[in-house]
A and B are shown apart, each in its own frame.
Chain A
């Protein structure tokens, strides 16, 4: 081709297709014009090959830094808690670093234009979580398969492998739209699975687990991915009827009564989770996810008002009728009263967490130097207060900043998406992580009543890790689709 590299560069920046590409290659009629788009097609391919892997190089650099920080954290834990460096855990964690780098290499091939920041951010969050869980293992004296740290490392490895599989198998996110009803079915089955008699398990009062042999799994975590796909696929097709018709009232366009069906179904599902599985957090998460995706799809504030009204009503009824919700609210409002503190299932845990945060202060006690093991469930639900104790306000603000960056990348992917399904899915996946972080950390810091959810990427729990790594893989796939897609205006 006669082009110099300079002219190719300009076409790379502007993506300027020749005008003839919008005139059709009218099939039979003309041979001369039919060749025109073909040359431009080969040009496109050459231009794409010439794009340097700038994004991937940036990702590699940040990944190496993130792995270094994680290794530093583990060494600090050992110096603080044991007084010497023990190389076994560092070696096992190095295996995870290899897996993450493998994911990076896979992305160089299957998703070269994907967002370069997501993988380093979640690597760092996951690694800091492992370091803190390992630190609590040392305090408990747990080792081998009893230690939550080793299990967390193994689960992380599995989660990364599954994320790589998602990246390789889902080459085009629009395929997911076709499976929206399968996704719905999967989501509902996963949600209801813990209520089955044989495999369902009740742990700490919530019936959200299934157990097969020694393995226990929280299927509701995976359900959030399936439901996000379903909501996105469903709302893309249904949003016209949900957004255009209806009567105006008080400056808002209210939906018709017969369009209320979907929101009522999701509301009922989240109430079933609340009542029968006794899981406040999951119920809040799914309803919030649906509400936000509905709002993003239709742009009507009346859905938010309606949904929040329904949820407030449901919460009020639950507060009056369900003892465990009532207990949660009381230990939230009057956490420091002696009766609540001493009551079984009272505010002991949350108050211990707050004592931990106070002990940490501004700069923290240092990794391995605090006493996070005094809080029940310090590795899972209360990992945030454990980290707050040892890293201090400065440290947990850094962690919150990492979450903020992750969510902002996700929302950005949602906004820049070129097809409606991809946009909705991106916003939904990013929002579900944001909402979960808010619910957990809000619970631990007494902003809202404590609910049983895991902190994404940080907390011990295999199901949560797998689900969140799948979310990250889907966001990476979406972001790759944005940048490698032809510009707006090309015929499909």
Chain B
């Protein structure tokens, strides 16, 4: 084996090493994670899309209207008479008070939620509070362990009166004026 062959081989080795690095970078270029669908963002723009509306409607198939209810007038935050604050009365975040947003509040384990509750009983997207005709309505999003309004499990969107405990997992909160 002559010196020249060795020299060529070792330069070839360095070149191949770098080619491998560039091959990896090239594979990275087309982002391998693909694009993630921003479903959450779509939800925010039309908070009522796909939600079983009609609190007053009779339970059953008629309650599940998935047409967007754009005609619903959402009252301004300033002139409403209902609750303004959400106060956590028991649970790990006891004492926490948050201002209710103008339209809806997502509750769940996901960090995109407006109220993040992390315990073993909470689902990623557990429930949401919707403002509906001057009143806040709690809707359970098919959570595993359920949402309880004053001790009874919520199956349909239900109006939340003031100062009534709503329980999700180990957390209980009330809506206050």
Contacts and interface: CB of A to CB of B under 8 A. Distances in A.
A482 B28 contact: no
Contacts of A247: none
B69 interface: no
A124 B17 CA distance: 9
Contacts of A364: 10, 14
Interface residues on B, range: 35 or more
A58 B17 CA distance: 18
Interface string A120-161: 110010000000000000000000000000000000000000
Nearest to A120: B24
Interface in A7-30: 14-16, 19-20, 22-26, 29-30
Given A366-B10, A398-B14, A115 B32 contact: yes
B66 interface: yes
Nearest to A25: B142
A240 B93 CA distance: 9
Given A66-B20, A73-B13, A14 B37 contact: yes
Nearest to A85: B1
Which DSSP category, helix, strand, loop or mixed, fits chain B's interface?
A: loop
Contact of B14 (A116, A394, A416): A394
B6 A366 contact: yes
A405 B28 CA distance: 9
A489 B126 CA distance: 10
Given A69-B17, A492-B109, A55 B32 contact: yes
Given A79-B1, A79-B6, A240-B93, A491 B18 contact: no
Given A79-B6, A398-B21, 16 more contacts: A19-B66, A22-B141, A24-B141, A24-B142, A26-B52, A69-B13, A76-B10, A120-B24, A364-B10, A367-B10, A395-B14, A405-B25, A416-B33, A488-B38, A489-B43, A492-B108
Interface in B115-168: 118, 123-125, 140-144, 155-156
A47 interface: no
A23 B66 contact: yes
A32 interface: yes
A254 B50 CA distance: 43
Contacts, number: 148
28 contacts: A16-B37, A23-B51, A26-B156, A30-B60, A58-B27, A62-B23, A62-B27, A69-B17, A116-B27, A117-B24, A363-B10, A363-B14, A366-B6, A369-B6, A391-B17, A395-B14, A398-B14, A398-B21, A399-B17, A416-B33, A416-B36, A419-B109, A483-B34, A487-B39, A488-B36, A491-B123, A491-B143, A492-B123
Given A33-B61, A83-B1, A492 B24 contact: no
Contacts of A366: 6-7, 10
Contacts of B51: 22-23
B112 A19 contact: no
Interface residues on A, range: 35 or more
Interface of A: 14-16, 19-20, 22-26, 29-30, 32-33, 55, 58, 62, 65-66, 69, 72-73, 76, 79-80, 83-84, 115-117, 120-121, 124, 236-237, 240, 363-364, 366-367, 369, 391-392, 394-395, 398-399, 401-402, 405, 412, 416, 419-420, 482-483, 487-492
A491 B64 contact: no
Given A416-B36, A492-B125, A124 B20 contact: yes
Interface string B99-118: 00000000011111000001
